[in-house]
Amino acid sequence: MQVNNDIIGIESGFARQVALDSGVDLFACYQCEKCTNGCPVTFAMDYEPHQIIRMVQLGLREEIARASTIWVCASCETCFTRCPQGVDIPKLMDYLKQLVLSQGDKPAEGAVAAFHQVFLENIRRFGRVNEAFLMGAYQLKSAKAEKRIDVKEMISNLKLGIEMLKRGRLGFIPKKTGAKEAVRKLFEK
Q: Angle 16-18-23 (CA atoms, 0-180°, nearest 5)? A: 100
Q: Which is nearer to ligand SF4, 85 or 177 (CB)?
A: 85
For helices 131-146 and 110-126, give the axis angle rounded to 10 degrees. 140
- Number of Cβ within 10 Å of residue 78's Cβ equals 19
- The stretch among 5-13, 74-82, 95-103, 114-122 that binds ligand SF4 (CB under 6 A) is 74-82
Mark residue 131 as left, alpha or beta (left: phi above 0; alpha: psi -120 to 50; beta: remaining).
alpha
Residue 82 near residue 35, CB atoms below 8 Å = yes
What number of other Cβ atoms are within 10 A of residue 69's Cβ?
A: 23
Number of residues forming the site for another protein (CB under 8 A): 97
Q: How many residues bind ligand SF4 (CB under 6 A)?
A: 27
Q: Can you tell me which of 55, 64, 92, 108 binds another protein, judged by CB under 8 A?
A: 55
Query: Would you give the binding string for another protein spanning residues 123-152, x where CB under 8 A is met?
Result: x---xxxxxx-xx--x---x----------
Whether residue 29 contacts residue 86, with contact meaning beta carbons closer than 8 Å, is answered with no
Q: Does 56 bind ligand SF4 (CB under 6 A)?
A: no
Helix axes 89-102, 12-22, angle to 10 degrees: 100
Of the candidate spans 71-79, 134-142, 147-155, 167-175, the one that interacts with ligand SF4 by CB under 6 A turns out to be 71-79
Within positions 85 to 124, which residues make up the interface with ligand SF4, using CB under 6 A? 85, 87, 89-90, 93
Q: Does 83 bind ligand SF4 (CB under 6 A)?
A: yes
Return the residues of window 8-37 that contact ligand SF4 according to CB under 6 A.
29-35
SS3 of residue 38 by DSSP: helix
What does the binding site for ligand SF4 look like in residue numbers (CB under 6 A)? Answer: 29-35, 39-41, 49-50, 53, 73-79, 83-85, 87, 89-90, 93
